[in-house]
Amino acid sequence: MIPTKYKNKLSRLMSYPISAGILSKALLETPQLDQLSIAFYDSCQEPHKIKNPAKVLSVTYSHQLVSLTSSNKAIEYGWYEPKWSITVYPVPRTCVSLVKSQLVETGLDKMKQWLHKYKDAMGKVGGCGLHFFYDLETNLLSFSEDENLSA
């Protein structure tokens, strides 16, 4: 099971679209499985305040170098260590089943492919990410990728 690092409580109007169990099961065959962690953040507690399209899930790798301006606390907390993470964001409870079904049907396969594509990223400096968005008007899931890695 991928460890959950953080989980915010949500208002009764919001819900997380996918669970740690579903993510762990789907990503079992990925090279980064033992390096991943999951965080559930309450980016918004009221449905009418969500920006459209709503970010629902991100998987990222990041590794920043310690510099002269790096705080000792940040270093102690491991902020400069290379890390793989998954972040799940809440959606309005009224559309959670639609978002979940699209994540399960297409999103998780996309995540697996992306993780395999970046299997050699560990140790590189910078970051890369795969981000999923849900359009609240068209009820469609989309994604974007970013990369800024150097050896």
Cβ atoms 46, 13 nearer than 8 A: yes
Mean pLDDT of the chain: 93
Encoded tokens for 5: 């690092």
Nearest to 38 by CA among 100, 101, 97, 86: 86
5 three-state secondary structure = strand
The domain limits of the chain are: 4-150
Q: HSE of 5 in the Cβ direction (CA atoms, 13 Å)?
A: 12
Distance CA 36, CA 88 (A): 13
Q: Where are the alpha helices (DSSP H) in the chain?
A: 20-26, 72-76, 96-102, 108-117
The H or E element spanning position 14 is strand 14-15
Distance CA 35, CA 31 (A): 9
**Per-residue tens of pLDDT for the chain, all 151 residues:** 999 999 999 999 999 999 999 999 999 999 999 999 999 998 777 888 888 999 999 999 999 888 888 888 888 887 788 999 999 999 999 999 999 999 999 999 999 999 999 999 998 999 999 999 999 999 999 999 999 999 7
- The 10s digit of each residue's pLDDT in 102-145 is 999 999 999 999 999 999 999 899 999 999 999 999 999 999 99
Residues in Cβ contact with 38 at an 8 Å cutoff, skipping those fewer than 6 apart: 2, 3, 4, 5, 20, 23, 85, 86, 87, 88
Total residues belonging to the chain: 151
Do strands 91-92 and 54-63 pair parallel, antiparallel, or not at all (unpaired)? unpaired
